[in-house]
Amino acid sequence: MCAISAGKVSVLQLTENADGSASYRTPRYDSQYFLPPVLARKTSLPLIGQPQLLAQKAGFQMSGDEQIVARFMIEQLLFHGIRDAAEAATCLAGYDKTRYPEGSGPSFTGFFLPKGFAAGLRLERCGADLWNAFVRAHAHAQLNGSPEIQMDYFTRAIESLLAQGSGFDDSSLKLDESYWTRAVEESGYVGAQRSVVSALE
C-alpha cells in the first residue's frame, strides 16, 4: 500500500527477492529488515510520505518493475491535515476526554489545567480560536494556498499552551485567541512552511 500524507516523509526501500521474500530498508537509519516468503505475501506494508512518492510509483511502472507496485503500492490513500475549525475542535476534544493509561487520573486538559477544567473549561470549545490563529499566521506569512495544518504543528501548538498552563490556570480561565496566537507562533508552523517553499524554489 502506498499512503500519501501531508506530514513527514518516511520512505522504505523495498526489494523483492528471487525466492518470493521481500526486504525493506529505512534509508534514514540504514536498517534492513527481511520478510520471509509467507509474510511477504500476507503482510500489509504501508509506505507513508509526501505526494512526490507517486512519481516513484510511476517510475517503477515505467521501468518494468510492476511487481513492486502490485505487491507494495496497490492502494493510495490521501491523509489530510486539519482543514477547518470543526476538525480542530474534534482533535481538541481528544485532550479533554483522553486519559493515559486509559481509565486512570484526569484527562490531558484536566492534568495541565486542573482549575480551569474543574470549572468547565474544555479545549474542544476553542476549535475556532485555534483554527483562526493558524489562518491568521498563514495569511500574515503570505503562504500560498488554503491552510491545511499538519498534525505535527497542530499538536505542538496545543502542547505549548498546556505546558505553560500552570502559569495561567485559574477557575475563571478563558482561552481566547491571544493564547492560541502565541501557541501557533511557538509551534514552528510558519517557519516550516517557508522552508518547504524555499526547498521547492
* Mean of the per-residue pLDDT values of the chain: 80
Instruction: Output the pLDDT for position 39.
Output: 45
Helix runs in the chain, H state only: 37-42, 53-62, 66-72, 85-97, 108-112, 114-118, 127-140, 151-163, 177-187, 189-200
For the stretch 49-95, pLDDT in tens is 677 777 888 888 888 888 777 777 777 777 889 999 999 999 999 99
Rounded CA gap, 67 and 62, in Å? 12
Q: Is the peptide bond before 101 cis (omega within 30 degrees of 0)?
A: yes
- 102 CB burial (10 A radius; 0-12, 13-18, 19+): exposed
pLDDT > 80? residue 11? no
For 125-175, the pLDDT digits (tens) are 999 999 999 999 999 999 988 999 999 999 999 999 999 999 999 999 999
Structural domain boundaries in the chain: 2-79, 85-200
Model pLDDT, residue 52: 73
pLDDT (0 to 100) of residue 20: 55
